[in-house]
Every structure is written in structure tokens, then in C-alpha cells.
Structure 1
Amino acid sequence: MKKILILTTALSGFAFAATAAEVTVMSWGGAYTKSQVEAYHKPFTAETGITVNSVDADNPATPIKAQVEAGNVTIDVADVEFSDAIRLCDEGLLEEIDPAILPAAPDGTPATEDFIDGAIQDCAVANIVWSTVFAYNKDNVDGTPTSIADFFDTTKFPGKRGLRKSAKATLEMALMADGVPSDKVYEVLNTPEGVDRAFAKLDTIKGDIVWWEAGAQPPQLLADGEVVMSTAYNGRIFNAAVAESQPLEVVWDGQILDFDLFVIPKGAPNKDEAMKFIAFATDTKRLADQASYISYGPARKSSGALVGLYQDGKTEMAPHMPTAEANLGNALVNNFEFWVDHDAELNERFNAWLAK
């Protein structure tokens, strides 16, 4: 009887441990997190029984360094920008991810060949292609802005501008607005004269800028009329315009393309579950599923053909993707190597400029 009791207790403990498995995923909040919850989190839990705890931050890369160095890591998976993924990996703050854990495409193409070039890194796996664009409120602008130069033209289009409180993307857009071709931007920005030129262009609208830090802010600033134009993440504007029927319009000229990638902080408490989550969330179907909730392009080639309608059942998602051919006319691909090398110095210069 005693042996049976011990066995029963042991089995009960095992069952509890199995059902108690969990993973904490940190992302950017708002419509973006919602798209991940619907496309990744809920089906992952349904298939594996592993609970997904969803937490948000203005920039999920920020807590990783502090947590790892303090030896108190509470995040298992974080969704971060490309340059942050590379930097954190180089600093030894992330777990390496073996591409062998990633499932093949439905036709058998290995994941290493199915992901877009650059989407798989030593410590990171991309899920989306997104872009920084600018948008305007059609009710508050006379005329039709069509170029990044229009964003900086407060004579032709009077009113406040929203800009992300960061050097990255802001400096590139300033140079493109000043006439630098997109394929020459980083060449120019890699010189002291180019940096001066970017800040000189920003000086022309400095008194009209409302700064934002969280991705949910630009659509709200535009809807409330606090600004007439704002830089923003393209998916946030899509959500406000289509899901919330706000009179907002994206201008694709001068867009800056980037990846977001999943990473695992070094010492993550649920590393095994984190690996399973990333493998699941970046398969062909899940990436296509996310694109039906928000207009970010899947990082897998095989997902493209599966992208269809938005959740309203009528809006074709393809034309709203930053990677749509019609939207790539004057696009700039973020140079993550440039920002890994220059992020600290340019943000120091940017903060000093802000304080003037």
C-alpha cells in the first residue's frame, strides 16, 4: 500500500510538472503583440500545453542586458530589432539557436534556405519584415504628402511632426529628405560631414517635433490631432486605419526596412520551452497567420503564398506589406552592421542635440 501511495504521489507530481510548463515572451505591445498572441501564443499552448506569459516593453532589448548581468533573468523569449540582436549576441548575452530545430517548409525546403537572407543569425531567428514609414491624418492635412521631403516641409504642410526619440531611422530619414539617394545613405552617414548634415536637416523642424517612444503612440498622436504627420511602424498605422477606421494614410517613400527577431536571453529559466516556442512560431503557417492580423511581411519565403485577407474578411494584406513591389521604390534596408558599430556614439550625439 505504501509503494502504491509513493508511486501515485510521484505520478501526480510528474503530471503537475508537465502541465506547469511555461514560457515568458516579451514583445512590443499593442496591435503587434495581439497579432503574436493570436498567431503564435494561443495555438502553441493548444498544441503543447505550455502556457505563454505575454509581457511588453517599449523596447524588449533594453531589459536583457540588465537581467543577464544581474543573474536574474525572467524573460525566456524576446522580440528585438536586428541591430540589437546582433549586438546582444556579440556581447554574450543571448543563447545560440541551432537552425536544425527550425521546421522545413511544407515542400521540404530546409529552413536555412526558406528564410529570407539574413533572417537566421547565431542567436536569433526572424519572424517579420517591418518598416519605419511616415503617415498623415487625411483630415488634418491640406494636400497629399508623397515623399519623405514633404515630412520635413512645414511650409508646404504646416503642423507638428511625430518622430521616434532615437537616432536610428531618424537620421536616415533626415538624409533622404535632404536629397541623399537611399543607396548612399549609410555611405554619407559614415562620415562626420554626413552626421552634421542629418542633424542640420533635423534642425529645420526641431521646434515642430513631438517625440514618441512606444509603437502605440504615433497612431494616437495622429488620431488626436497632436501631430499632422508622424513616423511610425507600418503595421501600427495599418491597424489604426483598417481595424479602427482612422483617416490615416501611409507614405512609403523613404521607408526603412528591418527585421524583428526572436532571441533567448542567456540563462533563460525555461530555455527548452523557449526553443520549442521559436521553432513553432516561425514555421510557414504561423508566420502567414500573423500577417492576417497586422501588415508585417513573413520572414519565410514559403509563407508569402499563404498570406490572404485581413481579419475583416475583405482587405487584401499583400498591398499593405512593406515588401510589396509598389512600396519599394525608394526604400532603405536598415544596415544593422552600421548600427552595431555606431549606435552608442550617434545616440550620444542625438541626446546632446535634444538637450540644446
Structure 2
Amino acid sequence: MELNQIYNNAREKMKGYCKVCPFCDGKACRGEVPGMGGAGTGSAFQANIEAWQRYKLEMRTIHQVQNPSTELELFGVKLTTPIIKAPVTGSSYNMGGSLSEEEYADIVVEGSKEFGTIAMTGDGADPTMYNSGLEAIKQADGFGIAIIKPRSQKEIIKRIKEAEKVGALAVGVDIDGAGLITMALKGQPVGPKSKEEIEELVNSTDLPFILKGIMTLDEARIAAEAGVDAIVVSNHGGRVLDSTPGTADVLAEIVSEVGGRIKILVDGGIRSGVDVLKALALGANGVLVARPLIIGVFGGEKEGFKMILEKMTTELKKAMILTGCESLGAVKGNILRKLND
């Protein structure tokens, strides 16, 4: 299977939901929520893309780095790549439905494990979607991370316990889903959380706890003080609030606030291995990727999914060679040059 075939297949299977543009920048799908677009004018989606493009790499070739390591250790597990599948649900109303929720979850969890990385499974407007992810994690002997929508405390803790039963590596809440249109349309109440509520969730489990959806210094500080093990710097792909900054615009200052105390992951507009390297140089420990990998799934199922993972990891490795970075730990901010706004 070739990449062109994957994109062509995905374009056909996701027709009416995702245009599978040659470069995914959110312009053709602005306002398409449900669907794969950004909220409102789509400016937050587009800001994610544009923010990464403002950073350029300093090319260095006088060194001995020839075979850099892309390995990442996360929650005691070694991964072959810092690219983690972001939690996404809604095959039927976001992606066209050519794959069932169960098929989609199986592909991303099993495919990630086979590649040597890990998938986050999601929660959705149809409560059974969370179960599809849990079943996939169970079949993968617990090699997956279950992410839950910001429901009531009782409902979240119930889902945490279900994740524990299948042996999930970690759990979390995508608090950036507090205003999701699709949840409201389906009568599934979600909303913001207080620091005390986050502490209650952290203390309800012995599993590592991730809070996804942090975009400001004060909330990064609150999350760390509440005891979370990791945060994801994320604006939910620009799908919940129009006119937010891109994640790359806020990542470095959040790292300066809580880096070293907790793990910091980032998502939003990451389209290539070069973007991954930029995120690492800004201080992220790893990245979450959604749209490119979704296209891989719908265009080529597990083979297509792993091909996109391979493509992005190879791009990362090449960029590490050409910036003189022998490992992820060796990636520093001095490989970046930011263009004037």
C-alpha cells in the first residue's frame, strides 16, 4: 500500500466529513462540528497549524549523530516514538462511519502496540463509545490509556474503575471537552472542574492521571498542585472554542511553569515529524496526533495507521540527524528559530 492510495481511500470513505486535503490546515472544513473541522470560524484550528510554522529549525551537520533514538519512557513503559494516538471517538458522526467504533478502537490500540507506542482511547456522546475503547485496551492486555469526558464526578470515577479493571496503563480527563457541541446534542452533560474536583479524581485511583486541555499558566499550576501526573497542552484541536491561540504559542511558557514536576504532552496541528521535533524543542515530553493517523486508519486500516506512524517517526529521526540531536533528551530549544510575528 502506498501513501497516495491511503489518502485516496480516506477521501472516499470520509466524504462529507473530512476532505482529506493535501495539507490539513482547517480552512476547507471550518465550522464543521460535528465533522472534522474547527469551531466557528475555524481560527483556533488554523492557529494550531500556523503556530508551528512560525518556528524553523537550525540545521547543523558538523557532529557525529547518525542514528538517533526516538525512544520515550512514559509511566514506566518504553515507547519507540514520542508520537501517541490522541483520544478520538465518533466514527459515525465525525468520520463518516465506514468503520464501526469498535473497529476503529481496535485498529488504533492494536496498531499502536505493534508499532511500539500507545493509543489513548476516548469517551463520547454515545456512552458505549468509551466501552469500545476499553474493550480494545483489554484485548491489548492493558496497553492503552483511557480518557474520559468531564462528566459528573460520579460518572468519571465509575469510568476510571472500569479502566482499572481492564488494566489500562493510565487514565485521564479531557477537560477541554467541557463545551463540546456533540455532547450537548446527545444529552450528555459535561462541564469545567474545580481544583478540588480534580484532586478527588486523582485520589480515586492509583493509575497515572492525565489532564488534557491546559492552555494557560495558571491552570497548568493548578493541575500540578492537584497532583496530576501529566497534562496535555491542548485546545481540543480548535473544536470547542473559536479564537484561541495555537498550542505552540503557549507550550514554552507552560513548560517553564511546571516542567520537571509533571509530564507535559501537546497536541493540535502536528502534521509531521518536523512538527514533533519542534514540540520537543519547546519542552514537551511527547505529542498527541489525531487527524493524520485517522486518515491512515480510514484509508488503510491497521496497515495505513502504522504507515503514517512510520512516516512521521522517520521524519522526526531525519530532522534529529540534521539538527544534531542523538536522543529525545538531547533536543533543546537552541535548535529553533522563531520568525517575527
TM-score normalised by structure 2 residue count: 0.29
**Bigger Rg, which one:** 1
The structure carrying a bigger strand percent of its residues is 1
TM-score normalised by structure 1 residue count: 0.28
